[in-house]
Homo-oligomer: A and B are copies of this chain.
Amino acid sequence: MPLNKPHDQLANIFIDDMEAVNKLIKQRMASKAAPRIPEVTAHLIDAGGKRLRPMLTLAAAKMCGNKTPYHIHLAATVEFIHTATLLHDDVVDESQHRRGRPTANLLWDNQSSVLVGDYLFSRSFQLMVETGNLRVLDILANASATIAEGEVLQLTVAQNLNTSEDTYLKVVRGKTAALFGAACKVGGVISSADEKIIDALAAYGDALGISFQITDDLLDYAGESSDLGKSVGDDFRERKMSLPLIKVLTQADQKEKDFWIRTIEKGEQQDGDLDYALELMIKHDALEATRRDALYWANKAKQAMNTLPESEIRNTLMDLPDYVVRRIT
C-alpha cells in the first residue's frame, strides 16, 4: 500500500496544468447574459471534488508525450461533462447534499439545475470541438450516450429485484466507468499514442471506474459512517439495486425473498431491517463476493496500466486502484 495518496501525488505533479484547467473552466462557465449559470456552476465546482477525471486526462496525455496543447481543453471538457451529470443526477435523485453543501436543486430550483446542466454540456461540446480532433469527439460522444443510457437504465431497474449483474455493470459504466475510460483514452488519442497504448488507457479507466463504484456499494453496507461522508445503510433505505443486494438475492430462500420484497420492492422498512439485511449478506457471502469483484476490477486496472512504459506518472496511476479499494482490504 502506498504511503501517500496517489491522488495527491497527481495533484502535485499537475499543479500547473490543473491551474490552467481551472482557469479555462472559470472562463467557459461565464455567461454575461445569464449570471445564474456561473452562480450555480461555481457553487458545485468551488466545493472541490477531487478533480480526478481531468487529472486522468492530463496524466494520460503526459505519459504519451503531450503532442498538442489540447490536453488542457480535454481535461476541462471532462470536468464539465461530470459537473453537468451531477446537476442532473441531483434533480433525478432529489438529492439534498453534494460535496458537503446543499445541492443546487435545493438552493435554486430543479429548473436551474436542468438548464445549467444543459449549458455545461454544450460548453463541454464547444471545448472538444476546439481540439479539432474528430476521434476525440467520437470517443466523448459515445461516452455521453453511454452515460445517459446508463442513467435511464438505473431509473428503470430501481427496486427491480430481478436486476442482473450484467445490467448492474451497464449502469455502473454509465454512472462512472464510461467517463473514467473516456477521460484516459482521449489523453492518449490527443497525443497520437499507439493503438495498444490507447486501448490500455481506456481499459484502465473503465476498470478503475468499476472498482470505484463497487467499493462504494460495499462500503454502504460494510463501512464505517465516519469514512463515508454518508451513513451506512443509505443504499438500503433508498432501495438501490447495488451489488451486495443483487448478489444476496440470488441466494435467497422464499422467506428471505419475502423480506427483500417487503423492504426493497415495497419499501416497507422497520427497525432492525438493516441489521437483518446485513446478516443475510454475511450468511450468503454477498459482502465477500462484492469485495472480490472490487479487487478483480482494481487488479484489471493495474494490469492494463502495467503494459505502459514505466514512469513516475504510470507508477502513481498503478497505485490508484489500490488506494480506491484500500478501505475494503
Smallest CB gap from A146: residue in B: B122
Interface centre among A34, A92, A137 (most CB of B within 10 A): A34
- Quick check: B37 and A149 within 8 Å, CB to CB? yes
List B contacts of A142 (CB < 8 A). Answer: 126
Is A88 an interface residue when CB atoms closer than 8 A count as contact?
A: yes
Is A303 an interface residue when CB atoms closer than 8 A count as contact?
A: no
Considering only residues 124-147 of chain A, those with a C-beta below 8 Å from chain B are 125-126, 129, 132, 134, 137-138, 141-142, 144-145, 147
Interface bin, chain A: 35 or more
Smallest CB gap from A121: residue in B: B121
- Quick check: B34 and A149 within 8 Å, CB to CB? yes
A contact patch SS: helix
Task: Give the segment of A108-116, A267-275, A281-289 that binds chain B.
Answer: A108-116
Contact of A33 among B88, B147, B153 (CB under 8 A): B153
Cα A118 to Cα B129 in complex, Å, equals 19
Give the number of times this chain occurs in the complex, counting copies. Answer: 2
Smallest CB gap from A116: residue in B: B152
| Minimum C-beta distance from A61 to chain B (A) | 20
Cα A151 to Cα B117 in complex, Å, equals 11
Contact with B along A38-79 (1 / 0, CB 8 A): 000000000000000000000000000000000000000000
Cα A153 to Cα B163 in complex, Å, equals 41
Is A254 an interface residue when CB atoms closer than 8 A count as contact?
A: no
Cα A155 to Cα B92 in complex, Å, equals 19
Contact with B along A168-181 (1 / 0, CB 8 A): 00100000000000
Considering only residues 1-46 of chain A, those with a C-beta below 8 Å from chain B are 31, 33-37
A interface, CB within 8 angstroms of B: 31, 33-37, 88, 91-92, 110-112, 114-116, 118-119, 121-123, 125-126, 129, 132, 134, 137-138, 141-142, 144-145, 147-153, 155-156, 167, 170
8 pairs, CB–CB < 8 Å, chain A vs chain B:
A31-B149, A33-B150, A33-B153, A110-B110, A111-B155, A118-B147, A125-B125, A129-B134
